[in-house]
Amino acid sequence: MRQDDSGVEPDESERLDDVQLQDGIVLVVFWTLAVVVFLQFFTRYVLNNSLGWTEEIARYLLIGVTFIGAVMAVRKESHIAVELVYRWLPRRARLALQIAVDLVALAFYAITGWLCIGLAQRTQQMMGAIDLPKSIVYWAVAACFAGMTVYGVVVLVRHIRTGTSRLVDPELFSATGPTL
């Protein structure tokens, strides 16, 4: 593990060496959400004249943060997992279970993305607060599922090629996490 200028090793949660350019998208959407929610609060409780569009836009930005963050979680292999089962299985069974979980997750991402595309194509409704089609939200979610599918394939290939993962061999991944 690297040390900072003070000679102290940074905590795992403080490391930024696995941050990539696409992670900035979720940061921008998050701070946009924060500004919109603050604007909603300020206009409602300070000015006593709430802006009508802030609630709807905040809802869509929250959806964006959730799904863009999910893409990042797939890339970093940081989605939650039930590790108890892995502790009691022999190594070969852990690897087989990891590959099976990767395949199920990959199928879920691909199928759900496909369903989102169908929903986006059928949605003709406009947003209530601004004059934009609601299908934009569904297209964005479909794009996020496409990203999760791509990263899911990369993760699956990595697990097959290396024959390990953080759940199969947790002792190997205790110091560093996977990066793409």
Q: What is the pLDDT of residues 101-123, one digit of tens each?
A: 999 999 999 999 999 999 999 99
Indicate if the pLDDT at residue 180 is higher than 80: no
- Residue 1, classified by CB atoms within 10 Å of its CB into exposed (0-12), middle (13-18) or buried (19+), is exposed
* pLDDT score for 48: 85
Which spans in 48-90 are helix H? Answer: 53-76, 84-88
Indicate if the pLDDT at residue 10 is higher than 60: no
Structure confidence at residue 79 as a pLDDT band (50, 70, 90): confident
Pick from 24-33, 53-62, 161-170: least confident? 161-170
Distance, in Å, from the CA atom of 34 to the CA atom of 58, rounded to the nearest integer, reads: 8
Query: Is-contact 61 33, C-beta < 8 A?
Result: yes
Indicate if the pLDDT at residue 14 is higher than 80: no
Structure confidence at residue 1 as a pLDDT band (50, 70, 90): very low
* pLDDT score for 82: 81
> Residue range 36-50: average pLDDT?
90
Strands (E), 45-157: none
* pLDDT score for 168: 86
10 Å Cβ neighbour count for 71? Answer: 24
pTM of structure: 0.81
Amino acid in the structure at residue 35: V
Pick from 93-97, 127-131, 152-156: least confident? 127-131
Distance of alpha carbon 171 from the chain centroid: 25
Report in angstroms the alpha-carbon separations of 6 from 12, 14, 16, 80.
17, 15, 17, 33
> Residue range 27-51: average pLDDT?
91
